[in-house]
Structure 1
Amino acid sequence: MSHCPSCGRYVGPYEACPYCGARIEGRLPFRAMKIAAVLLASLGLAVLWFVAVRSPIPTVQAGQVGATMNFAYVRIEGQVVRGPLYYPDSGYLSFTVADETGEVRVAAYRTTAETLRAEGRIPAFGDHVSVAGTLRVQGESTSLTINVPEHVEVFRPEAEPRTLGSLTPDDYLRRVRVRGQVWSVRQPYEGLTLITLRDTTGAAEVAVPQRLERLTGELLPLEPGQSVEVVGTVDLYRDTPQIVPASVMDLVLLPEEVPVAEPAQIGMLTEADVGRMVEVSGTVTWAEPFSAGFKFGLGDGGAEVTVLLWQDTYEGLPDPAALAPGAQVRAIGEVSTYRGEIEVIPARPMDVEVLVPGTGGTVGSTAPEVPLSALNLDRVGEIVTVQGTVVDVVSFSSGFKFTLDDGTGQVVLLLWLATYDELADPAGLNLSARVRATGRVEEYEGTLQVVPASGVDVEVLTPGQAEAPLRKTGSLTVDDVGTRVAVEGAIARTEPFSGGQRVWIDDGTGEVILLLWDNVYRRVPEQDRLIPGAWVRAMGIVEEYRGRLEVVPVLPRDVKTR
């Protein structure tokens, strides 16, 4: 009622007439209406909150997300296929979740990210997750931002025990448990450590990115030869399986050694074993250096195999000299073939163990002395003793070749640099020297060679001396190319080059270049005296290079200074 029932005047919301004072009956108090409105609104909000917290968050697939879902609060379920990435300074966390329809990048910031880290809710590569958050759709880019740490659920599968050689690309995203021996540890670039593990079945790499160390701590230092157990998820790098652990704590040192090769009988090795790691034991029957390393024969009484050590492996041995004929050796390496011959190639110095040192030499007095005419291809691989006169000498980057002649035939006596350096009388080993040598018969490009294993296998019976006419340095012409000459003079200047040293000498009649290849230059007696102003006498072969004449000494002792 808006009018007074007594005087009839308009009274509006008043409960008593302001004119006559009559009380207006039947009107609901305004205060009560305000209180009722507040109570009703509060009840509505309570009901809305109750419905909101009780209603399930809608789950969507990655492929269903579109522009109309921007800012929607949804749940994504799938497997972590990239990440996680975590930056402590900015508090940023991200990882990528994939299902059968597509991928969504998931991110968390600052407090949320730190809470996830503190509560151990950050998923690892390969984990199954259920994540709820706010969608952001910007063009082709789709991301989900975590607002509530409790809306992240992580499910980590049980690890399946596997051998390293059994891992294939089909194991991608499978969680495995492996045991192996640390073969190598390397960092291909800053931010990634690759640990190669090996067992008797094969090898695989464990990838530990720096982001994993940021989240779970520093990786324990590992050394080749240590045995470890690793739990992780299989990832692929160019279709090659790699194991990615969820934490650095998933790499555990083992007290027992994990073998990397199975013992094998030398006589049972065939081409079918190529690529396989084996452990062989036996006695060194012969040993010799070659241009890229060192090799030796290993026999177990019934058969023999060649063990090949590349130069860095050989130089890394605790005592390379102990690897001589008669030594008892155990070696682990990969089976290979070269020209139809089985070889075992150890990759690390620690894979060669000398149980009993050898006495040196090839086989000493047990090698039969044969005339050179008796050598033929059928004797390749045999250890023989030969005797003859040096009739020719050739220098090459890894050693020297001396042609021996005994009147019945000729053979090349090949001395690798390491063998030459062990000679008791290198000055006497020159043209016209009478020599006895024991070595292994080999064939190279159709030429037979006798290759001693050590300098003690070469005996100079009668010292030799190269002879050549002494020529004025300015008298040499292109007509002298190919001839052996002797020259002497003062050193005018020197110049190093990639293969050795050039020395200009002048006896007053003109300059000529003395070309010293590295294998010769490094072994010249009193080499440090090859400086400008010093007097030098040299014997060598005249050669022409780009219009310049050069005298090229063949042996280090063909160069003398004063």
Structure 2
Amino acid sequence: MKEYEKPSERRFEESRGGIGEKRCPDCGAPLLDQKVCPECGADLRKRTSHKFAALICVVALAFGLGYYTYAGIQGEFTIDIGDIDEGYNYGYAWVEGTVTSGPEYRVHPSKRLTFDLSDGTGEISIRAYSEDADNLIARGLIPGVGDHVRVFGMMRVEDYGERIDIQNPEKFELDPASAEETTISQILVNFSNWKYERVTVKGYLKSMRPFGWMNLYKIENSGAELEVFFTGGLSELGDKPENLDRLYSILEITGGVAEYGGSPQLMPKSYADVKVVGRKELPGVIPLAETSDYKYELVGVSGKIVFSEDRGVGWNFWLDNLEDNSDAIPLWVWDSTYESFSENTKKQFDRGADITTYGEPETYEGEDRIELVAPPEISIDNAEGINTYQLPLVSISSLTENNVNDFVTVRGEVTQASDKGDKFTLENNAASIDVTVSESVWALLQDTPDNNDLVKVSGRVDLMGGNLVLYPGVPSDLEVVS
């Protein structure tokens, strides 16, 4: 049999007259009006055109999605979560299972109520938008961890996972779980038994970490600790209890036991599930020099802020009692915690202020520090002395390795400035010291130094690669004199 070039492998050119002659789809032999190929014997009457086959597929897909939608609305089509894949994208179905996370309620950029659901075959995110979210909230159908839910919606399969968008909130079915009183220690010891159960526990607020749209609390009772996750938008679902964000408040919380990182995490579904029933007495204030003896315990500390250092993700406020020869120690404040300060506290919480607060001494990268515990409990004295406290002006030549972690002010001429300018050498009377400005400070500088400028720099002395380095803490620590 002759070898012919198949239509799929050759090019038809306009110069050859239109789309070209008719050929056998199997061997490529030229045909006239034959129904059977004279070369290979292929029966063309039994062939289905590609266009017709594609049309059949489109009709079948449309019919399939239409059937899922109709069957779902009629209550006939309930799918296992583990079976949802790209073949069901934009299809409709019922799913039912136990809530494993949530609720999360967001108002911006649009209203959205979200929770996660598991049926034993898989887990999926459920979302209600705008009017559908308002409908559920108005009817008190707010799902929480441990509740049983049956929901109808559109299946969406995207790169980051699957979800169901609620389409008919009137058919939303919620069977709320009953809460059982227990203790934190019982949950920790038998987590597998309490997972996705609704419980009521009591403990005092040991710490709180704000994360913008949500807060992570830590409560303690009889030495056992449990994280409590307040998801975003709970304030939209009910009034926040007074004194909830007060250190050592005694709380009675009802919520579902979820899992995060292999550990239990309690998730209330509204502020109505939280009661403030008292307050535990705060610990006493200890001398700064003794804080290393109380690692990872809550203690009261008191001292003068002698230096403020913006570290990008947080602040070091160096405390010193100025009454003995002990070194200053940094009070670490996360940005998220700092942003929870009132505007007045932010203004007063600065160099020169005498403060009393509470934190946990710790070791970070080999250095001792105290982490401020939120919700912050802060007392500020000597507010009129803020920004009037001056670091000692010293000569560059007097600085040695013995001055590491001292806070000083020096003057000199800028030399060897980097291209960006955030690193340079300061010289005065043949003595020199390197200066490094952090990105967060450099971004806020109004007048940046250049070679040959006379500048005054206040900062913390450190040692880097055998050389002394001065680190200014805030933009006002660097002044271009001339």
Structure 1 length as normaliser, TM-score?
Answer: 0.42
Structure 2 length as normaliser, TM-score?
Answer: 0.48
**Higher RCO (CA 8 Å, separation ≥ 6 residues):** 2
Q: Between Structure 1 and Structure 2, which shows a larger proportion of strand residues?
A: 1
| Structure number, greater radius of gyration | 1
